């Protein structure tokens, strides 16, 4: 994977014999699981199977990048599930010697059941989940044991490539089902320690003006109580309409009103603090400068996104172009060359419905700053303030160890639940102290009562679940790097590696005199201006045919004070500067 690994927010409790897999595209929890490695040279690298009382889990690594349930990177992969490890049931698919009870045809997004039923079912109907939702070489898959009809006590599973007729492992992966239900501690939705601002992103599915949906929205927003919210799919309501809703649902302590601004289509940003500026020109992304907690010392650059949906080559290209466009906007904002100039260490907060299906390139661009079309959007850059990538945070549902944020209300839909909604930050300045996805369907009744929620609230409000992050100070807040330790931060220093606290720049070219030799005579501009009084723009100030550097390369004129290169009878820092300026010259 190209994305950064990040800190875990959730305490995983497990013991020998338990298999609590977090479906989060991180794969660390598979490290200690037994694997089978492909030694036959097929399209597979390794696979693993594990389970608990509720779920059957699969891990696979393939040789070449694929998008499992998309045709943007064509594949002909299937999963052969012998749900009782019995060749007398099911069918011997492709003469592989397994009693296949359920065939998963990934390319066609179909599940074909041969035992206890027949015909085609959707991935939703068999309770299938996959991470990531976009292309890669590593995937983790979960099957709801009840919906999949995993009968056991043993199962046998094989991956099969129809194109090459290769099965892996050749005799299937035998697994004895684990009947233990692993302990899982629901994540507290209280603000994490060190939180300055709680942010949220929520695709409202065009329901914000529907009374039934509003009741669920109100309960959810009261439970999570964010400070800044990025909304998408709100084209049918105005900023003023949403302002009134928020003032009613989650009034600001001490009075005052929520501030809401809308772009030219379906994006909004709502904040308790003042909104200082907004930029609707960025396609399907809405950057807003908003006042956050005073301890940030600068406003936040907060962007609500709703990138182009779905598969197909044109949609893939548009989604990538949108990622490129935003990163060009951010690069120019950091460099002070675009619509906005942001101060050093400004917290950058980006998120929303990124519709990350198909190719992984857009999310890679949004994290790394690697722009795909540089001819249209300019050069790559390091988007975080410490010279690294941004961080995409692997947030899980508060009460279940899966990361999907979208779920169709229609079980027969060919599209299984997936992670479409994201939180990305400049972690050098805005560290995520905690976070979660709120899905009410998996919450215990006691938990729902405690939070004032109902089990159906999340899907009643939208087909997307709200994503919540608690932001606190990153390591660089209050600190500006100073490589040469001259008291001028690297963000402002016109000579990064040479001491020049006076920042002298005689010709205003942006390069300090201490590290510039404008006339190429071997003497720095600073020496010529401050010590010798020669012209830093002329290699031969007096026009006698001998360069300034050679004329001044004569040590002490009286030779009575070794090291006194400035002839002031004192060996001082000025002499050292002269000496440094002479390095590389020829006398």
Domains of the chain, earliest start first: 28-176 (2.60.40), 197-473 (3.60.10.10), 517-582 (no CATH)
Write out the chain's pLDDT in tens, 587 residues: 333 333 333 333 333 344 579 999 999 999 989 999 988 888 999 999 999 999 999 999 999 999 988 878 878 999 999 999 999 999 999 999 999 999 999 989 999 999 988 789 999 999 999 999 999 999 999 999 999 999 989 999 999 999 999 999 999 999 999 988 766 789 899 999 999 999 999 999 999 999 999 999 999 999 999 999 999 999 999 999 999 999 999 999 988 999 999 999 999 999 999 999 999 999 999 999 999 999 999 999 999 999 999 988 899 999 999 999 999 999 999 999 999 999 999 999 999 999 999 999 999 999 999 999 999 999 999 999 999 999 999 999 999 999 999 999 888 888 999 999 999 999 999 999 999 999 999 999 999 999 999 999 999 999 999 999 999 998 754 445 566 777 776 657 888 778 888 899 888 888 888 888 888 887 888 888 888 889 988 888 888 887 877 777 544 444 456 666 666 666 777 777 777 766 655 55
E strand residue ranges, 146-299: 154-161, 166-176, 197-203, 228-232, 259-262, 267-271, 275-278, 285-290
The residue assigned the tokens 């397994």 is: 98
Is residue 362 packed enough to be buried (19+ CB in 10 Å), middle (13-18) or exposed (0-12)? Answer: buried
Instruction: Identify the CA nearest to 23 among candidates 469, 391, 415, 405.
Output: 405
CA dist., res. 25 & res. 130, Å (int):
9
CB-CB contact of 56 with 88 (8 Å): no
DSSP string, 156-178: EEEEEETTTTEEEEEEEEEEEPP
């Amino acid at each position: 994977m190209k994305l950064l690994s990040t800190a875990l927010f959730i305490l995983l409790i497990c013991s020998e014999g338990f298999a609590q897999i977090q479906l989060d595209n991180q794969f660390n929890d598979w490290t200690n699981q037994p694997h089978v490695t492909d030694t036959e040279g097929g399209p597979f690298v390794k696979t693993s199977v594990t389970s608990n009382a509720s779920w059957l889990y699969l891990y696979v690594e393939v040789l070449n990048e694929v998008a499992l349930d998309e045709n943007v990177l064509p594949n002909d992969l299937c999963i052969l599930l012998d749900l009782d490890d019995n060749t007398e049931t099911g069918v011997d698919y492709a003469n592989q010697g397994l009693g296949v009870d359920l065939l998963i045809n990934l390319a066609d997004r179909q599940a074909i059941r041969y035992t206890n039923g027949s015909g085609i079912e959707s991935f939703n109907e068999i309770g299938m989940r996959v991470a990531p939702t976009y292309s890669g070489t590593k995937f983790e898959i979960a099957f709801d044991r009840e919906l999949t009809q995993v009968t056991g006590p043993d199962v046998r599973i094989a991956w099969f490539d129809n194109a090459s007729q290769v099965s892996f492992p050749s005799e299937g992966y035998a697994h004895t089902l684990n009947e233990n239900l692993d302990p899982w501690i629901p994540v507290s939705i209280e603000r994490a320690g060190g939180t300055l601002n709680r942010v949220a992103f929520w695709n409202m599915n065009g329901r914000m003006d529907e009374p039934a949906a509003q009741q669920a929205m109100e309960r959810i927003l009261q439970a999570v109580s964010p400070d800044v919210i990025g909304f998408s799919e709100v084209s049918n309501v105005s900023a003023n309409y949403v302002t009134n809703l928020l003032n009613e649902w989650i009034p600001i302590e001490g009075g005052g009103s929520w501030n809401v601004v809308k772009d030219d289509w379906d994006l909004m940003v709502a904040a308790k603090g003042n909104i200082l500026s907004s930029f609707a020109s960025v396609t399907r992304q809405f950057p807003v400068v908003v006042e956050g907690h005073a301890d940030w010392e600068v406003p936040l650059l907060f962007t609500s996104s709703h990138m182009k949906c779905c598969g197909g080559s044109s949609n893939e290209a548009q989604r990538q172009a949108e990622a490129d466009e935003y990163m060009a906007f951010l690069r120019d904002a950091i460099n002070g060359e675009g619509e906005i100039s942001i101060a050093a260490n400004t917290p950058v907060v980006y998120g929303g419905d990124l519709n990350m299906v198909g190719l992984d390139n857009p999310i890679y661009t949004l994290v790394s700053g690697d722009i795909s079309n540089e001819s249209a959007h300019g050069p790559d850059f390091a988007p975080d303030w410490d010279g690294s990538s941004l961080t995409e945070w692997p947030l899980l549902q508060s009460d279940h160890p899966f990361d999907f944020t979208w779920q169709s209300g229609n079980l027969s839909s060919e599209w299984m639940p997936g992670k479409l909604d994201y939180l990305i930050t400049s972690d050098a300045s805005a560290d995520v102290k905690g976070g979660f996805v709120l899905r009410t369907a998996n919450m215990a009744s006691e938990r729902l009562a405690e939070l004032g929620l109902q089990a159906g609230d999340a899907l009643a409000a939208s087909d997307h679940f709200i994503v919540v992050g608690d932001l606190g100070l990153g390591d660089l807040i209050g600190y500006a790097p100073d490589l040469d330790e001259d008291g001028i931060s690297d963000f402002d220093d016109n000579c990064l590696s040479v001491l020049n606290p006076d920042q002298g720049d005689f010709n205003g070219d942006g390069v300090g005199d201490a590290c510039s030799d404008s006339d190429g005579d071997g003497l720095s501009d600073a020496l010529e201006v401050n010590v010798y009084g020669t012209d830093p723009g002329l290699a031969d100030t007096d026009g006698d045919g001998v360069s300034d550097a050679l004329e001044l390369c004569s040590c002490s004129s009286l030779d009575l004070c070794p090291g006194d290169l400035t002839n002031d009878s004192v060996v001082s820092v000025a002499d050292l500067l002269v000496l440094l300026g002479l390095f590389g010259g020829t006398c």
